[in-house]
A = this chain, B = another copy of it.
Amino acid sequence: MIERRKTRTVMKGDVPVGSEHPVSVQTMTKVDTADVETSVDEIRRLTAAGAEIVRVSVPGAKAAMAIAKIKPRVNVPIVADIHFSPALALKAIEAGADCIRINPGNIGKHVDAIREICRRCRNKGISMRIGGNEGSIMDREGIEVVEHDTDPVVKMVDEVLRNCELLEGEGFRDIVVSVKSHDPLETIRAYTLIAGQCDYPLHIGVTHAGTIEQATIKTATAFGALLSRGIGDTIRVSITGDPADEVRVGREILQCLGLKKRGLEVYACPSCGRADVDVMKLTAEVEEVVKDLALDVRVAVMGCEVNGPGEAAQADIGIAAGRGWGYIMQKGRILEKVKADDLAGSLKTHILRMKDEGLIVASKEA
């Protein structure tokens, strides 16, 4: 129904971003990236909730290097959020981040360093996001630019495009662009303006949007305006609160516009050292029993009885499996403990019960 603005395709890990692909939902962890265990649990929880790309903050070298340990244990592209320091960007690239987000304003004085970052990204097939925020515009010497007679939206868009040109000078075009404002109307203006001036996919968002109700209103209003015009290829809802809420609200906005189909989704955690069961085999069994149900339901399959329950809590229903047995979970509540061989069958029984109770509805075409 909605005709997307034509863009090139840029990969964030294995997720393609651009007009030829579904609009993806991002979020950002709020835990210490350097704390690997906590980060892995948090990323899995957000992925179970439906996050398709997860950003982590990289405030220091320890956080940058933690990405190398986090990556193998999650199955979602990881974006490294870099402020101020080109050295941290290089470390995050080295650690295997799938995308490097830089703010053109605050590393604007490091032109040579940015060239080096994009060469390294190109060599490793890593994409970049050039993410401007209104108010964070600085000159090339890193001095904050305050020009009251210049439209701040035009200034932000120009700054971001100048940074893209810098990367293009290195033959680098795997760029996703964002131009966020805290004000929904300014956000609409900024993205509408930049949409006509490049063919890069756009990451859209309203920044500093506030607590959940305020952020939901601001973001849905701006996204309705933009997405209905085909502008926006990947989204983040910024909420002062739980990032799982960002994912849920983001998905619902896309569903409102027919940009995300409801239906059956099975999310499996990646098999890891902590997994007590063959997650891939269990997932295949689950997919087999639910595939013909034609229901709008999100199923999580987690191969860990320690963190699995918490991670599966964001799905409608899920399995947190231990060795030889597993829990069936409904919206974070443990329903029963079941033998491994009976898990998939029991899951189906509970899904059908939830359907009878009206907690799960039949899927229809978007």
Contact = CB atoms under 8 A, between A and B. Distances in A.
Contact of A257 (B185, B252, B257, B258): B185
Centre residue among A184, A188, A213, A220 by max chain B CB count within 10 A? A220
A225 B224 contact: yes
Task: Say which size band chain A's interface belongs to.
Answer: 20 to 34
Nearest to A214: B252
A217 B185 contact: no
Chain copies in the assembly?
2
The A interface is mostly helix, strand or loop, or mixed, namely helix
Contacts of A227: 221, 225
Nearest to A245: B213
A50 to B, nearest CB: 14
A221 B185 contact: no
Interface string A215-258: 01110111111111100000000000000000001001100111
A228 B184 CA distance: 11
A268 B249 CA distance: 37
Nearest to A206: B256
Contacts of A226: 224
Contact of A217 (B2, B184, B189, B220): B220
6 contacts: A184-B257, A185-B258, A216-B220, A217-B220, A220-B224, A221-B221
